[in-house]
Structure 1
Amino acid sequence: MSVETTPLRRPAPRRRTPSDRLCDALAALGDHKGQVLTHSERAWASITFAGTRHAFAILFAGDEAVAAGERFVAELPEYEFAIPGQLVADASVVEVEHRMVPRPRLLVRCELLLLEDA
């Protein structure tokens, strides 16, 4: 009696979305020292453009991370993002909470507007 076997296939790799790429870019901008606490995404459109608005809360904990977070805050508004098919039309820091006790931490809330690049 013969049994037919089918070779196992690896699942197709998950396609990286613009949101995934944005998260990667923000992690790199923060020297991979920040922890994303919250991330929300909602559709956005005007008469001529369509895209998504993203809101993040990112925690930088510890001396080294706080220094990276301070650089993140300074560089975000002018940072040149490279996200295929997308244009970052606006990137702003909307709130920064800095604490030193019991250990240094920096909480950054930022918002970004991604537009579909035609």
Structure 2
Amino acid sequence: MMRGPDAMALLQRALQGSADAAGLILAIGEATSIDWASATFTGARHLLRVTLPDEPASHAWLAGLADAELFMPGHLLADCAVVAVEHAAGTLAARIEALSVEER
């Protein structure tokens, strides 16, 4: 039986779709996931490094990620935070930490 994409792939697609909808060019670089579980949920913690053009729309998109509703079939995005932003040569490099949980 073939399984669908993992939570990291779904998160990357959701971020890309959200950036596309905002008219932004998003490049996803380093991306890692670590399995996570509590007494009632299973999921994964994600760390991604993304780059965007250094423009007001990019700043607004990053600022809105914590409240964004990103579609990840079979998973819920429980938390999403921009934990670091660097400016260099007309680009923003941001580090994003997220927590996804599997829907049951």
* TM-score range relative to shorter protein: 0.7 to 0.9
**Structure index of larger Rg:** 1
What SS does structure 2 have at the residue aligned with 1:30? helix
In structure 1, the partner of 2:38 is 46
Please tell me the root mean square deviation across aligned C-alpha atoms, in Å.
1.9
Within 5 A, what are the aligned runs for 1:87-98? 87-98=76-87
In structure 2, the partner of 1:66 is 54
Is 1:25 aligned with 2:14?
yes
Is 1:113 aligned with 2:102?
no
- Kept in 1, the 8 Å contact 2:26–2:51? The answer is yes
Higher strand fraction: Structure 1 or Structure 2? Answer: 2
Q: How many residue pairs end up in the alignment?
A: 99
Structure 1: runs of 5+ lacking an equivalent? 1-12
- Kept in 2, the 8 Å contact 1:30–1:71? The answer is no
Task: Output the TM-score relative to the length of structure 2.
Answer: 0.83
Q: Which amino acid aligns with 2:97?
A: E
